[in-house]
């Protein structure tokens, strides 16, 4: 299980300039990926996030507390751009949390959260795309099983392509899943053991699978001593990158070129149950708590964002 990204701040808060700066620097360091790009795509990725615009809000009860929400930027939206992958994950994290909390409130329910990891035998990178298609069909079969539907009320499924110790020339496609179950799940007849999860996944995949892990998500203690609630910890762990920067930098040029080819068009996240339709109004600002006091615009310069006096004349794509 990979560590939560050190750049990410409190999941309940929105985009901060410091978070963008951290991920912009990471994106620049993703030099191996950049050299395989060409033409306008290369230019778009290299210039990603060089201009940012925020609405700046002031707390009505404490004038020293400020909040920024993004209103414009020149993002490239490429799958392997560190900046864009982080932003996409952050949006889905917030939507997932909001949906679960809304559902709990409306139906007066409390849930438990499971972390399910589904693996398959490692394929060659050249066979990654066909393996992913087979995994997708297998997961569809799994999610249609009566046992699955009785136990799981909602789920988020994410795919990763490379593991921490994957051999050269090989891929390690695997699913990380956040499962939402009833609070009495562990004492009910709907409970599914780890061995049964393994058998179900093997049956659906059509081949015996050696590694399947299921565990209850618990609160996570962070380096600064703060403790993330179980739900937030689980959402952060599942909804992230498809290939970590460290894994990408370990790949040979030939393997990285093939990875880009094999994963083109592959969907990273999949949702089901009551998480199939996520809430959309996560960006709304409560005017009784926050006053809009103006806009801020920043340009990337010498490894940091520098505030500008006026809005850039670039074509911004948020």
pLDDT in tens, 216-245: 998 888 888 888 888 999 999 999 888 888
| Highest averaged pLDDT of the listed ranges 77-86, 105-114, 199-208, 243-252 | 199-208
Tell me if 242 sits within 8 A of 161, measured CB to CB: yes
pLDDT for res 32: 82
pLDDT at 245: 84
Q: How much is the pLDDT for 99?
A: 93
Q: Is 301 exposed, middle or buried (0-12, 13-18, 19+ CB in 10 A)?
A: exposed
Q: Does position 283 have pLDDT exceeding 80, yes or no?
A: no
Q: What is the mean predicted confidence (pLDDT) over 85-95? A: 92
Greatest CA span in the chain, whole angstroms?
A: 63
Percent of the chain surpassing pLDDT 70? 92
From 75, 66, 58, 59, select the one nearest 20 (Cα to Cα). Answer: 75
Which pLDDT value is given to residue 310?
66
Q: By the 8 A CB rule, do 211 and 118 touch?
A: no
pLDDT of residue 1 exceeding 80, the answer is no
pLDDT at 109: 86
Q: Cα–Cα distance between 29 and 168 in angstroms, integer?
A: 22
Q: What is the pTM of this model?
A: 0.88
Residues constituting the chain: 318
Q: State the chain's mean pLDDT as an integer.
A: 89
* The pLDDT value given to residue 284: 73
Residue 315: pLDDT above 80? Answer: no
pLDDT at 6 over 80: no
Give pLDDT, residue 136. Answer: 97
Confidence of residue 2 (pLDDT cuts 50, 70, 90): very low
Lowest-confidence segment of 65-79, 115-129, 185-199, 302-316 by average pLDDT: 302-316
Query: What pLDDT is stored for residue 205 in this prediction?
Result: 97
CA–CA distance, 111 with 102 (Å, rounded to integer):
12
* pLDDT band with cut points at 50, 70 and 90 for residue 138: very high
């Amino acid at each position: 299980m990979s560590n939560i990204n050190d750049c990410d701040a409190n999941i309940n808060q929105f985009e901060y300039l410091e978070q963008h700066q951290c991920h912009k620097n990471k994106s620049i360091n993703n030099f191996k990926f950049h050299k395989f790009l060409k033409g306008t795509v290369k230019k778009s990725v290299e210039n990603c996030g060089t201009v940012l615009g925020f609405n700046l809000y002031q707390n009505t009860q404490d004038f020293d507390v400020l909040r920024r929400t993004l209103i414009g930027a020149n993002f490239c939206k490429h799958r392997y751009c560190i900046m864009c992958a982080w932003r996409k994950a952050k949006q889905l994290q917030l939507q997932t949390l909001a949906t679960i909390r809304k559902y709990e409130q409306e139906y007066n329910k409390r849930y438990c959260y499971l972390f399910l990891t589904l693996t398959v035998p490692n394929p060659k990178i050249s066979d990654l795309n066909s393996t992913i298609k087979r995994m997708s069909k297998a997961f569809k079969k799994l999610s249609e099983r009566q046992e699955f539907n009785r136990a799981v009320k909602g789920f988020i499924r994410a795919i990763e392509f490379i593991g921490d110790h994957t051999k050269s020339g090989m891929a390690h496609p695997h699913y990380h899943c956040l499962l939402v179950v009833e609070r009495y799940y562990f004492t009910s007849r709907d409970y599914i053991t780890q061995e049964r999860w393994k058998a179900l996944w093997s049956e659906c995949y059509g081949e015996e699978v050696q590694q399947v892990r299921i565990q209850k998500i618990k609160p996570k203690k962070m380096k600064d001593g703060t403790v993330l609630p179980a739900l937030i910890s689980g959402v952060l762990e599942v909804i992230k990158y498809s290939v970590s920067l460290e894994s990408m930098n370990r790949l040979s040029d030939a393997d990285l070129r093939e990875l880009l080819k094999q994963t083109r068009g592959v969907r990273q996240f999949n949702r089901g149950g009551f998480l199939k339709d996520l809430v959309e109004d996560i960006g709304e600002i409560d005017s009784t708590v926050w006053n809009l006091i103006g806009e801020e615009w920043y340009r990337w310069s010498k490894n940091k964002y520098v505030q500008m006096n006026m809005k850039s004349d670039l074509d911004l794509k948020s």
